[in-house]
Amino acid sequence: MLSKEENELLTQTDAGTPMGKLMRSYWIPALLSEEVPAPDSPPVRVRMLGEELVAFRDTEGRIGLIGEHCAHRGTSLFFGRNEECGLRCVYHGWKYDVEGHVIETPAEPQDSDFRKKLRHTAYPTHEANGVIYACLGPREKMPLFPNYEWTQVPLQNAYVTKCLLESNYLQGLEGECDSSHLSFLHRTFTNERNQPLYKSDTAPFYETEETDFGVRLIATRNTENQHYLRFSAFIMPIYGCVPAGRPTNELEGYEIHAYVPADDTHCWRYDIGFRRDRAVREDEVHRRKQINPDYTRVRNARNNYLQDRRMQKTVNFTGIEDFLNHDACATESMGAVFDRSKEHLGVSDKAVIAVRKFLLNSAREVQSGREPPHVVRDGRHNRFPHIDCFAHILPRKVPWREHFDYLTPTARKENPASFAARQKVAS
């Protein structure tokens, strides 16, 4: 349970709020590369952290992410002309470059230079494996772009989808930190013989560990001779890493689910996945079928997620198709911003509690003028091999801390053997 004040602090991300300031300390997804596919292709609206922006790819291929409303008299630049290295407003022809400079004011006298005094809102961007990330904080405090593994693998080894969720970002994010819902919300009744172990033990033992990047979450289910382990991670400020779609013992990559606030009552869910050693197959991106061209979902609150009550009796727990929609149904139906002073948390919510605490502490750090955790400034430490996610079975007598030593905070010291350790486990 949170107090109303804590709940507000965690859920409000507009400019000027403590959480808004925290979010603006990091690189987070702003849009997909496919939305601005080619130089001079049409601009698109981007709503994030309560800000109204437009993105465009200029003639040279550079990405601009600038304030939507023209600095002259406010017309939306979404309707603008993307031409000759700039975006031109349709009202009086003012033209902007990707850095927010006003480069032409053709309705003004030729000798006018007042455009030079203007600087339109513009944020830096970084494109990696189909995602355009942005940092909405002050330019002078911009951190390094973190070289997460999923941003570094070859393009064909990665996939991404994006969709709109009609609720506050935190409801989505908390779902990533909650292994116990796997045994219910995502349960299927078919193929009983090949069910993963999370079906048989519905009350896992949880451990959480604060790390330099956020919180590692370990859920253990026990059978007679074995541990079934699921390692997940929360990365500051909006990323949940899970072994989604990966069979037990597969160590070949994982999924990253990012929940970017559009405003306080909507968020963008990005599902990014990668394979370490091979190209992704089309069928691994099956989620695309669930998403409309405008990034809303086919199954949504207005059509009750197309829930099928007969299917709910015989096929799966919800009667709804696809994990994406199960999660959306569970978290959107709480209401746009759930009042966490009304909840009743149990032992199974340990990881949710740990992540909230980490976020609250980080927001307070920022409020008191200190830099929050995991803002990357040192290029020598800009790789994160200890962020890893997988499900694994170990003999009951083998402690996971020994077997996966590169994952523990004590092994956080320079650990060049981490990838080697992973290979050893895989073989």
Q: For residue 91, state whether it binds ligand FES (rule: CB under 6 A).
A: yes
Q: For residue 87, state whether it binds ligand FES (rule: CB under 6 A).
A: no
Which residues lie closer than 8 Å to 344 by C-beta, 6 or more apart?
1
Query: Is the previous residue joined to 237 through a cis bond, with omega within 30 degrees of 0?
Result: yes
Using CB under 6 A, which residues numbered 54 to 73 contact ligand FES?
70, 72-73
Using CA atoms, how far residue 63 sits from 58, 99, 325, 399, in Å, is 6, 9, 32, 48
Count of residues touching Fe ion (by CB under 5 A): 1
The Cα 246–Cα 253 span in angstroms is: 8
The Cα 417–Cα 395 span in angstroms is: 23
Report in angstroms how near the CB of residue 313 gets to ligand FES at its nearest. 58
116 binds, among Fe ion, ligand FES, none (CB under 5 to 8 A by kind): none
List 26, 27, 56, 94, residue binding ligand FES (CB under 6 A): 94
75 binds, among ligand FES, Fe ion, none (CB under 5 to 8 A by kind): ligand FES
327 binds, among ligand FES, Fe ion, none (CB under 5 to 8 A by kind): Fe ion
Report in angstroms how near the CB of residue 122 gets to ligand FES at its nearest. 16
Handedness of CA 332, 336, 361, 5 (dihedral sign): negative
Report in angstroms how near the CB of residue 55 gets to ligand FES at its nearest. 18
Using CA atoms, how far residue 371 sits from 22, 356, 367, in Å, is 9, 18, 9
Count of residues touching ligand FES (by CB under 6 A): 9
Length of the chain counted residue by residue: 427
- Contact region with ligand FES (CB under 6 A), list: 88-96, 126-134, 137-145, 380-388: 88-96
Q: Among candidates 413, 353, 397, which has minimal Cα distance to 10? A: 353
Report in angstroms how near the CB of residue 78 gets to ligand FES at its nearest. 12
Output the furthest CA–CA distance in the chain (Å, rounded). Answer: 83
Report in angstroms how near the CB of residue 203 gets to Fe ion at its nearest. 17
Q: For residue 75, state whether it binds ligand FES (rule: CB under 6 A).
A: yes
Q: Write the interaction track for Fe ion spanning residues 281-320; mark x where CB under 5 A is met and - where it is not.
A: ----------------------------------------
Q: Among candidates 149, 419, 97, which has minimal Cα distance to 274? A: 149
The Cα 141–Cα 24 span in angstroms is: 10
Given its phi and psi angles, is residue 319 left (phi above 0), alpha (psi -120 to 50 degrees) or beta?
left
Report in angstroms how near the CB of residue 107 gets to ligand FES at its nearest. 7
19 or 238: CB nearest Fe ion: 238
Report in angstroms how near the CB of residue 84 gets to ligand FES at its nearest. 16
89 or 387: CB nearest ligand FES: 89
Using CB under 5 A, which residues numbered 316 to 355 contact Fe ion?
327
Neighbours of 20 (CB within 10 A): 21
Which residues lie closer than 8 Å to 143 by C-beta, 6 or more apart?
25, 26, 27, 135, 375, 376, 377
Give the pair of three-digit tokens for residue 96: 């902007």
Q: Give 108's DSSP letter.
A: S
User: Can you name the residues that pair with 393 across neighbouring β-strands?
Assistant: 228
Q: Among candidates 256, 217, 254, 255, which has minimal Cα distance to 238? A: 256
Report in angstroms how near the CB of residue 185 gets to Fe ion at its nearest. 6
Neighbours of 75 (CB within 10 A): 16
199 binds, among Fe ion, ligand FES, none (CB under 5 to 8 A by kind): none
Q: Write the interaction track for Fe ion spanning residues 141-160; mark x where CB under 5 A is met and - where it is not.
A: --------------------
List 92, 101, 187, 276, residue binding ligand FES (CB under 6 A): 92
Q: For residue 120, state whether it binds ligand FES (rule: CB under 6 A).
A: no
**Which residues contact Fe ion by CB under 5 A?**
327
> What does the binding site for ligand FES look like in residue numbers (CB under 6 A)?
70, 72-73, 75, 89, 91-94
